[in-house]
Amino acid sequence: MRVQSLSFLLLAVAFPIYGADQERSDWAGFFDEFDAKGTIVVADEREKSRAMWVYGQERASKRFSPASTFKIPHTLFALDAGAVRDEFQVFEWDGVERSFAGHNHDQNLRSAMRSSAVWVFQQFAKDIGEERAGRYLRRIDYGNADPSTDEGDYWIYGNLGISAQEQVSFLKWLYKNDLPFQSEHQRLVKDVMIVEAGTDWILRAKTGWDGQMGWWVGWVEWPSGPVFFALNIDTPNRTGDLAKREQITRAILQSIDALPTP
């Protein structure tokens, strides 16, 4: 696609390559502190930093189910396909009691993203269809771009897979509004991703969990530039391990002054 090729060129100028990723073996301490096994990729694009760091190089290139981190591109697909109009559209709760209380009420785009209301995105998937979903995935070069599944949601239980390295690449595109979607849709997705903000920084991120492995991906915006991150860890203790996703990532970002220390 000619427009997409141009966007790739523009992105290369906006985010120059600074050599190979630097392995941060010292970050093992953060994972050990929380008794977790995993990887993290950090792309520091602040003016005075310009570094690509990784802990767990081999795992960082391995593809896993995106789980609910897929809500980021999925929202773009839904907006483009007309499955959702804007952040104000209300999706009426179907009355089915789910294990997380935050899912058991009417939702809009912002609340569905914040609480990871899977049933809203299941409706998006139904409206979009597998064939069109595949076209969207290939259009943005998202992981293996495979929306097929034998049973269950393809972004959790299906064949779709993406690596931590690829998550960061995708987030860079979104940050620059350089994905092949309307700019207003990309800005809206970034808006509903906001987790926290200070006077001069904004944290935009999304968690994900497929039952065995958990994600936290996103970026911190500073006046001097963004700091992107993608972490995934094993979750042998299931929900007992979920808090570790943010705890480890926050500790690492704070260690490089990419996130304020409380």
Sequential pLDDT tens for the chain (262 residues): 444 444 444 444 444 444 468 999 999 999 999 999 999 999 999 998 789 999 999 999 999 999 999 999 999 999 999 999 999 999 999 999 998 888 999 999 999 999 999 999 999 999 999 999 999 999 999 999 999 999 999 999 999 999 999 999 999 999 999 999 999 999 999 999 999 999 999 999 999 999 999 999 999 999 999 999 999 999 999 999 999 999 999 999 999 999 999 8
Number of domains into which the chain is organized: 1
Residue at 111 is within a domain: yes
Helices (H) and strands (E) in the chain, counts: 10, 7
CATH of the domain at 174: 3.40.710.10
Residue at 185 is within a domain: yes
**Active site members:** 68
41, 54 contact by CB (below 8 A): yes
| Rounded Cα distance, 198 and 244, in Å | 23
Show the domain range for 73.
Answer: 2-255
